[in-house]
Amino acid sequence: MSIKYTPEPFRIKMVEMIKMTTPQERLQKIKDANFNLFSLASEDVYIDLLTDSGTGAMSHEQWSAMFVGDEAYAGGRSYRKLLKAGTDVFGYDYIQPVHQGRAAEKILMPLLLGKGKFAISNMHFDTTRAHVILSGGRPIDNIVPEGKKPNIRSKFKGNMDITRLEELIEEKGAENIGVIIQTITNNSAGGQPVSMKNMREVYEIGQKHNITVCIDAARFAENAYFIKRDEEEFKNWSIPDIVKKTFSYGDVFTMSAKKDFNVNMGGMLAVKDKSVNAALIQNIKASCINFEGFYTYGGLSGRDLEAMAVGIYQYMEEDYLAYRIGQMEYLAARLDAAGVVYQSPVGGHGVYIDAKAMFPHIPYKEFPGQVLAVELYKEAGIRSCDIGSYMIGNDPDTNEQIESEFEFTRLAIPRQVYTQSHFDVMADALIAIKERASEIKRGYKIKWEPPILRHFQAELEPIE
């Protein structure tokens, strides 16, 4: 059976050379990095799939817009251009640029949460989880049951579990829920989409109990593509119309623009209704001035704001989105043919390999997702990351290792960067590792770890 690769809707105008290392070199490099892929030098990586965040190739329209950036400290022209685009696309009254997604979280979470308060999400991304905890609150993940089963192919596996959401509000008391967060797409569950129906239902529950609904909107355009493809009611809608509708089911949004605006740096924090949330907007501006910079630049250069204002529109193009999701589907199809298990059907920005299925004999405390990530580097110089127990870390109250719902190794795909032959390298490497998986007997233990977001910095050693 031939597996089809969706052709690129662009041509290449600038390139960056990359080089392959030898297996011996890679063994030494990963050892020197304490088996933490974040500690590798990027020149020692052949295909870098650590993240799709800020790693894309921008369009020539974005690059050229950067030359007309207004670098004024206050009231810049580029800021107003971004505001105009942001309010046009998302329909929100107040748009605050910030330097990246976690800056929006850092500003917003303390304004909504505190000691004794809970955040309920279809799944918190790791920085979101960290900012909920840092604000004194506690994160609760609440994804639909099928989302937890990589083998079950069903649509919108990123959805919030509605029944459980009502129960949680009842159990904890509505006054103790500081925020409900819909992460679109659901990154930690495999870039899985959230349906419009689920967005609507969650928003109605938020309204009924007077709880703020926040959209963590990093991959809003990819999510809209899945809604158009898989939700009957929207099959004839344009992507921009789907996006506008999606955002109508939130009160605020935080966004890392490094994903679906395809910029190297940038983020947003936005409030839908300025008449209802005037005080919140004042507090956001004040925090932004403290942490990020004056509220008309939010820690960014004027040129970054320009690239964002172009990217907002550009990556909602359907040909682009079909090609983008098509890349994931190509890799997934090659894995299907070889029996490599991944979160299926494949999501928006990467392929999440089920490391638990590949290494059933390695327990969560030895981090199977990290085992596969290290093997991928050794095998082919591919850098990926663990999205599992190694990433999730320890319980903030008991300090015990949390067992993650998943043990994934994520191959996150940068936008407009890699070609079909790179995808074949990825598939071949995964298949080769699967063939020798039973020879890899043990995982890793932690030599040193920081108290929060440990996977970025921890030092590991193999268990002999």
Which one from 126, 141, 251, 260 is the annotated catalytic residue? 126
Closer CB to ligand F0G, residue 98 or residue 440?
Answer: 98
Active site residue 126: yes
Closer CB to ligand F0G, residue 42 or residue 64?
Answer: 42
Coil, helix or strand at residue 9: coil
Minimal distance, residue 15 CB to ligand F0G, in Å: 24
Q: Given the structure tokens 């090659």, which residue do they identify?
A: 334
- For residue 450, is the peptide bond before it cis, meaning its omega torsion is within 30 degrees of 0? no
Closer CB to ligand F0G, residue 97 or residue 101?
Answer: 101
- For residue 22, is the peptide bond before it cis, meaning its omega torsion is within 30 degrees of 0? no
Closer CB to ligand F0G, residue 366 or residue 386?
Answer: 386
Task: Give residues in contact with ligand F0G (CB under 6 A).
Answer: 51, 53, 100-102, 125, 127-128, 183, 187, 216, 218, 256, 258, 267, 412
Active site residue 455: yes
Q: CB pairs under 8 A, 24+ apart, for 136-142?
A: 137/109, 137/113, 137/178, 138/396, 140/168, 141/188, 141/405, 142/168
229 burial via Cβ count (<10 Å: 0-12, 13-18, 19+): middle
Q: What is the DSSP string of 425-448?
A: HHHHHHHHHHHTGGG----EEEEE
Q: Which residue lies nearest ligand F0G, judged by its C-beta?
A: 101
Gap between the Cα atoms of 335 and 427, Å rounded: 7
Minimal distance, residue 272 CB to ligand F0G, in Å: 19
Minimal distance, residue 361 CB to ligand F0G, in Å: 28
Active site residue 156: no
Which one from 4, 73, 274, 286 is the annotated catalytic residue? 73
Active site residue 216: yes
Q: Which residues pair with 267 in a beta bridge?
A: 98, 256
Active site residue 230: no
Minimal distance, residue 337 CB to ligand F0G, in Å: 27
Length of the chain: 464
Active site residue 73: yes
CB 68 within 8 A of CB 212: no
Coil, helix or strand at residue 193: coil
Minimal distance, residue 143 CB to ligand F0G, in Å: 13
Strands (E), 11-134: 47-48, 94-98, 118-121
Gap between the Cα atoms of 116 and 442, Å rounded: 39
Which one from 52, 70, 216, 354 is the annotated catalytic residue? 216
Closer CB to ligand F0G, residue 143 or residue 362?
Answer: 143
Gap between the Cα atoms of 429 and 412, Å rounded: 15
Which one from 228, 272, 422, 455 is the annotated catalytic residue? 455
Closer CB to ligand F0G, residue 51 or residue 70?
Answer: 51
Minimal distance, residue 111 CB to ligand F0G, in Å: 17
Minimal distance, residue 459 CB to ligand F0G, in Å: 21
Q: Given the structure tokens 């699967």, which residue do they identify?
A: 434
Closer CB to ligand F0G, residue 125 or residue 226?
Answer: 125
Closer CB to ligand F0G, residue 309 or residue 362?
Answer: 309
Q: Which of 87, 83, 85 has its CA nearest to residue 97? A: 83
Which one from 103, 119, 217, 218 is the annotated catalytic residue? 218
Note the helical H segments in 143-299.
162-172, 196-209, 220-230, 239-248, 278-291
Minimal distance, residue 215 CB to ligand F0G, in Å: 10
Which residues make Cβ contacts (< 8 Å) with residue 2, sequence separation at least 6?
A: none
Q: Where in the sequence numbering do the catalytic residues fall?
A: 73, 125-126, 216, 218, 259, 455
